[in-house]
Amino acid sequence: MSGRTVIAIKNTQASLSESLSKPPTSDGFSISRKINGFLEWFGGLGMFAWAVLRAGITPPYEWRELIRQFDNIGSMSFPLVALAGAAIGVVISMEARYSLSRFGAKSMFPATLVYSVIQVMGPIMTGLIVSGRVGAGIGAELASMKVSEQIDAIEASAVNPYKFLAATRILACILMLPLLTLAADASGLIAGWFAQNLVEPLSFQQFINSGFHGATFNEFLPPTFKTAVYGLIIGTIACFQGMRTRGGAEGVGRAATNSVVLASLFVILADVVLVKFILMVFP
Amino acid sequence: MATESETAMKDERLQKDESSPVVAVNQLHKIFGSHVVLNGVSLSVNRGETLAVLGRSGTGKSVLLRIIIGLELPDSGSVNIHGQNIVALPLDQMGEIRKKMGFLFQHAALYDSLSVAQNVAFPLEHHRRGMSIAERDDRVKQLLSEVGMDGHLEDMPSDISGGMQKRVGLARALALEPDILLLDEPTAGLDPISSGEIDDLILKLQREHRMASIVVTHDLHSAKTIANRVALLDQGNVVINGNFEELYRSDIAFVKEFLKYSREEVCRE
């Protein structure tokens, strides 16, 4: 299935970033060209996503490659995400202590830290870190495979590259993002409590009881699981950018950069929509 | 190894192919932008026959191979594999057709994250799912032994030379026991000794497997060694399609020019 779809995608797309980077012309057509490029990019992305979905749900499934991607995307991102989560926890802890002290609301510190980390900072920070690490990795890997004809070789071996390369990576991103978010949240809370504990002793038990007092699953699960959408965005954009690359080493670099930039941008935009959606559905 | 039903189907196909072309392309046209790459190309290859496609760079030789295996679509024309036009074939059936073909890419296109043995095992893992791991390993060793790479099973593609990569690419192309072998510049970029070794290897494999082969090359010397027939492309057209005698006897100016420079190249080598 893939050969023709790849061709169709190749023939009908112009990269968003390429079109945006073209110098403006005075002929009055530059704006319409940019809009065309933007729409073509979205059209190509839609066709790509449809091709991946169709290939991904058709057996036989690529379990081995999927497990390899769980490791690549999940396990290997874990230290970075946990470290960044800890740093964010410490920063929030210091800022919150200072701000809450000014208003005489120091007792609110545990809840402030818990809600800030789990509802806001943990998910978006994990999304952005994975965009950088995994987005660049997938974009560069697939682009390199594309320019060295390895993707063509996969197709020539009668293996669907949408299933083998893209579906596995996208699914691994979708499943790993919520788990990585939990890891970031946990390390953020522990590091934040530890930072507070150094200044003003507070037992971990007290911190947890006070922080989660009156909290419901509806307040914490949706922000964590919304990161599956970030995973979908990161995986799809990185695979799309990688598999449509042209032009040697420069193309590989461009694919990696575009994957990170576009995935990060769309993760932030998705966050706006998802926060509003969650507030509406889980008021 | 192939299953019994696959073997029976293959035997039936081969009997039929003795009399009819295994690969037949008719009136292929392909244009990239304003550049006409193929302008009504028609060729055919029978079982056990090797066709060398010669021509200058950019005359569409590699595009022709890519169209035959379905990596590119022609603008018009047909590609018949075992009598079935694959241009109009539904996408999921294209995979079945590709299983009958082996393709050696110009730069081998080995998967750089997999070892030599894993590269050769790749098609088997996907299309011989009933094969046990031990059977698959034996088959990989046998294939690598056929191409003289049995001592390099665990090497990574980046650790072996260009000639060795081509050998591994050839072993991978033969993994599913194809009826059709497509070779894109098998000797390009290799020194004369490695080129000769690859030619001898292709010749040996041809004798053993009796596939229908199409070899795209610039190298007339190599083409003469491995092919029974030759097609010369110029500006998207087939100017010669016959045996090498016809090529040498031709009065066409382009053919004479091509032969003149090819001979000089052979002499330089």
Domain boundaries, chain A: 41-281
How many angstroms separate the Cα of A224 from the Cα of each of A170, A181, A239?
Answer: 18, 6, 24
For residue A186, what are the CA distances in angstroms to A129, A190, B74, B103?
16, 6, 56, 51
**CA proximity to A200, closest of A96, A125, A275, A276:** A96
Chain A residues close to B109, C-beta within 8 Å: 148-150, 152-153
Residue B78 near residue B89 (C-beta atoms within 8 A): no
DSSP string, B33-48: TTEEEEEEEEEEE-TT
Element (H, E) at A84: helix A78-102
Greatest Cα pair distance, chain A, in angstroms, is 69
- Dig out the tokens for B236 from the structure: 């998207």
The model's pLDDT over B229-239, given as tens digits with 9 standing for 90+, comes to 999 999 899 99
CB contact set of A15 (below 8 Å; sequence gap of 6+)? A37, A41, A241, A244, A254, A258
Question: Rounded to the nearest 10 degrees, how much is the dihedral formed by the CA atoms of A87, A92, A94, A95?
Answer: 140
Q: Please say whether the beta carbons of B186 and B162 come within 8 A.
A: no
Contacts of A44 (CB under 8 A, 6+ apart): A9, A12, A13, A240, A244
Beta strands in B98-221 (DSSP E): 101-104, 180-184, 212-216
- The model's pLDDT over B114-141, given as tens digits with 9 standing for 90+, comes to 999 999 999 999 999 889 999 999 999 9
Query: Chain B: residue nearest A58 by CA?
Result: B92
Confidence of residue B219 (pLDDT cuts 50, 70, 90): confident
> pLDDT-derived band of residue B4, with 50, 70 and 90 as boundaries?
low
User: Which of A8-17, A146-155, B25-34, B204-213 shows the lowest per-residue confidence on average (mean pLDDT)?
Assistant: A8-17
Q: Which two tokens stand for residue A177?
A: 């993002």
Tell me what the mean pLDDT of segment B44-51 comes to. 94
- Chain A positions touching B176 (Cβ under 8 A) are 157-158
Q: Which pLDDT tens digit goes with each residue over A17-69?
A: 444 444 545 555 788 888 998 899 999 999 999 999 999 999 989 999 999 99
Write the pLDDT tens digit of every residue in A90-110.
Answer: 999 999 988 998 888 888 999
Contact between B94 and A3 using a beta-carbon 8 Å cutoff: yes
Q: What is the mean pLDDT of residues A113-142?
A: 96
Of A1, A60, A152, nearest to B71 by CB-CB distance is: A152
Q: Locate the chain A residue with the closest alpha carbon to B94.
A: A1
Whether the per-residue pLDDT at B242 is higher than 80: the answer is yes
Cα separation, B240 vs B255, in Å, equals 8
Q: The sheet that has B76-81: what strands, in order across it?
A: B35-45, B23-32, B76-81, B84-85
CA distance B268 to B259: 14
CA distance A139 to chain B (A): 15
Pairing of strands B237-242, B229-234: antiparallel
Cβ of A150 and B103 within 8 Å? Answer: no
Question: Is the CB of A4 less than 8 angstroms away from the CB of B71?
Answer: no
Chain B interface residues facing chain A, Cβ-Cβ under 8 Å? 66, 69-73, 91-92, 94-96, 98-99, 101, 103, 105-107, 109-112, 122-123, 126-127, 129, 172, 176
First vs last C-alpha separation in chain A: 44
Taking each helix axis as running N to C, give the angle between helix A227-243 and helix A30-56, from 0 to 180 degrees, rounded to the nearest 10.
110
pLDDT of B2 over the 80 cut = no
Amino acid at A68: R
A149 touching B, CB under 8 A?
yes
User: b vs e for B222-256, b when ≥16 Cβ sit within 10 Å of the residue's Cβ?
Assistant: bbebbbebbbbbbebbbbbbeebeebeebeeebbe
> Which of B65, B71, B81 would best serve as a mutation to test chain A binding (most A beta carbons within 10 A)?
B71
Contact check, Cβ <8 Å, A148/B69? no
Say if strands B23-32 and B76-81 run parallel, antiparallel, or are unpaired. Answer: antiparallel
pLDDT bracket for residue A121 (50, 70, 90)? very high
What is the average pLDDT score of chain A?
89
The strand order across the sheet containing B229-234 reads B101-104, B180-184, B212-216, B50-55, B229-234, B237-242
A148 touches chain B (CB under 8 A): yes
* Per-residue pLDDT tens over the stretch B60-108: 899 999 999 999 999 999 999 999 999 978 777 899 999 999 999 999 9
| Chain-chain contact of B111 with A153 (C-beta, under 8 angstroms) | yes
* φ, ψ of residue B232 in degrees (nearest 5): -110, 125
Q: Checking phi first, is residue A8 left (phi over 0); if not, alpha (psi -120 to 50) or beta? A: alpha
Residue type, B93: Q
List the 205-234 stretch of A: residues with Cβ below 8 A of B.
none
Shortest alpha-carbon distance between residue B269 and chain A (Å): 28
In this structure, are residues B106 and B188 in contact, taking their beta carbons and an 8 Å threshold?
yes
Distance CA A220, CA A243 (A): 36
Closest-CA residue to B166 (of B181, B188, B182, B150): B188
Alpha-carbon distance A277 to A279, whole Å? 5
User: Per the CB < 8 Å rule, is A157 touching B73?
Assistant: no
A7 Cα to chain B: minimum distance (Å) = 7
Residues in CB range of A212: below 8 A, 6 or more apart? A114
Q: Do the beta carbons of residue A176 and residue A231 sit within 8 Å?
A: yes
Give dist(CA B175, CA B102) in Å, integer: 8
Of B194, B107, B160, B206, which is closest to residue B150 (Cα–Cα)?
Answer: B160
Of the candidates B71, B103, B109, which has its C-beta nearest A3's C-beta?
B71
Of B69, B106, B111, the CB nearest to A156: B69
